[in-house]
Amino acid sequence: DGAPLRRAFRAGYESVRPLPPVPRAYRVAAVVHSAVDSAGEVTRPGYPERTGAAAVDFHRARLDAWL
């Protein structure tokens, strides 16, 4: 779980300046971009890695969350 590390990073960053706003379209584009590699293959997120339908379901859920 990377949540504690993300919180520590944000707390340190925000002590210097506020986090910039990120438009929803940028977040959707990032999710879509991360779903496939340079060969057009579905990436295998997580550890242990998700493969096949589980990988597709993971990416679809992330995309649905932002749409």
pLDDT, tens digit, for every residue of 36-60? 899 989 999 898 999 999 999 999 9
Q: What mean pLDDT is predicted for residues 7-16?
A: 86
- Structure pTM? 0.63
Model confidence at 17: pLDDT above 90: no
- The answer to whether residue 12 is domain-embedded is no
How does the average pLDDT of the chain come out, rounded?
90
Sign of the CA dihedral 8, 10, 12, 14? negative
Which residue segment(s) compose the domain that 40 sits in?
21-66
C-alpha separations of 25 from 29, 30, 59, 67 in Å: 6, 9, 16, 9
Number of domains in the chain: 1
- The answer to whether residue 6 is domain-embedded is no
pLDDT computed for residue 53 by the predictor = 95
